[in-house]
Amino acid sequence: MKQRPKVCFDRILPKDLQKPIPGIILDLPKADFPGVEMRTRMAFVNKKKWVNGSVLRVKFVGGSSGDQDTVKKYAREWSKYGNISFDFGNSPDSEIRIAFENDGSWSYIGTDCLSIPRNTHTMNFGWLDQGVVLHEFGHALGMIHEHQNPLGGIKWNKEAVYDDLGGSPNFWDKATIDNNMFKTYDKNQINGTQLDKKSIMLYAIPREWTLDGFSSQENQQLSPTDKEFIGDPSNYPLTDKPKGPVELPLSSKTTKADIAKAGEEDLYTFTVAKQGKYLMKTTGNTDVLMNLYGPDSQTKLIDQDNDNGYRMNAKIVTELLPGKYFIQIRHFNSQNGTGKYGISVYKKRSLFG
Q: What is the mean pLDDT of residues 111-133?
A: 93
For residue 243, the Cα-to-chain-centroid distance in whole angstroms is 21
Please check whether residue 281 is in contact with residue 325, taking contact to mean a CB–CB distance below 8 angstroms. Answer: no
Q: What is the 3-state secondary structure (H, E, C) of the chain?
A: CCCCCCCCEEECCHHHCCCCECCCECCCCCCCCCCCCCCCCCEECHHHCCCCCCEEEEEEECCCHHHHHHHHHHHHHHHHCCCCEEECCCCCCCCEEEECCCCCCEEECHHHHHHCCCCCCCEECCCCCHHHHHHHHHHHCCEECHHHCCCCCCCECHHHHHHHHCCCCCCCCHHHHHHHHHCCECHHHCCCCCCCCCCCCCCCECHHHECCCCCECCCCCCCHHHHHHHCCCCCCCCCCCCEEEEECCEEEEEEEEEECCCCCEEEEEEEECCCEEEEEEEECCCCEEEEEECCCCCCCEEEEECCCCCCCCCEEEEEECCEEEEEEEEECCCCCCCEEEEEEEEECCCCCC
- The pLDDT > 70 percentage for the chain reads 78
Confidence class of residue 348 from pLDDT cuts 50, 70 and 90? confident
Q: What is the mean pLDDT of residues 43-64?
A: 84
Is residue 127 scored above 70 in pLDDT?
Answer: yes
Q: Which of 114, 26, 152 is nearest to 293 (CA)?
A: 114
Please check whether residue 206 is in contact with residue 216, taking contact to mean a CB–CB distance below 8 angstroms. Answer: no
For residues 3 and 328, give the distance between their C-alpha atoms in angstroms, rounded to a whole number: 48
Give me the pLDDT at residue 343, please: 97
Q: Which of 138, 140, 186 is nearest to 42 (CA)?
A: 138
Domains of the chain: 9-230 (3.40.390.10), 243-347 (2.60.120.380)
Is residue 131 scored above 80 in pLDDT?
Answer: yes
Write down the mean pLDDT value for the chain: 81
pTM of the model: 0.69
Burial environment of residue 58 by CB neighbours within 10 A (0 to 12, 13 to 18, 19 or more): buried
Give me the pLDDT at residue 152, please: 61
Considering only residues 300 and 148, tell me which one the structure prediction assigns the higher pLDDT: 300
- pLDDT tens digits for range 291-321: 999 998 888 889 989 888 888 899 999 999 9
Helix axes 130-140, 65-75, angle to 10 degrees: 60
- pLDDT tens digits for range 84-95: 999 999 999 899
- pLDDT tens digits for range 189-227: 443 455 677 888 887 889 999 998 888 888 899 998 889
Confidence class of residue 229 from pLDDT cuts 50, 70 and 90? confident
Give me the pLDDT at residue 151, please: 57
Beta bridge partners of 37: none
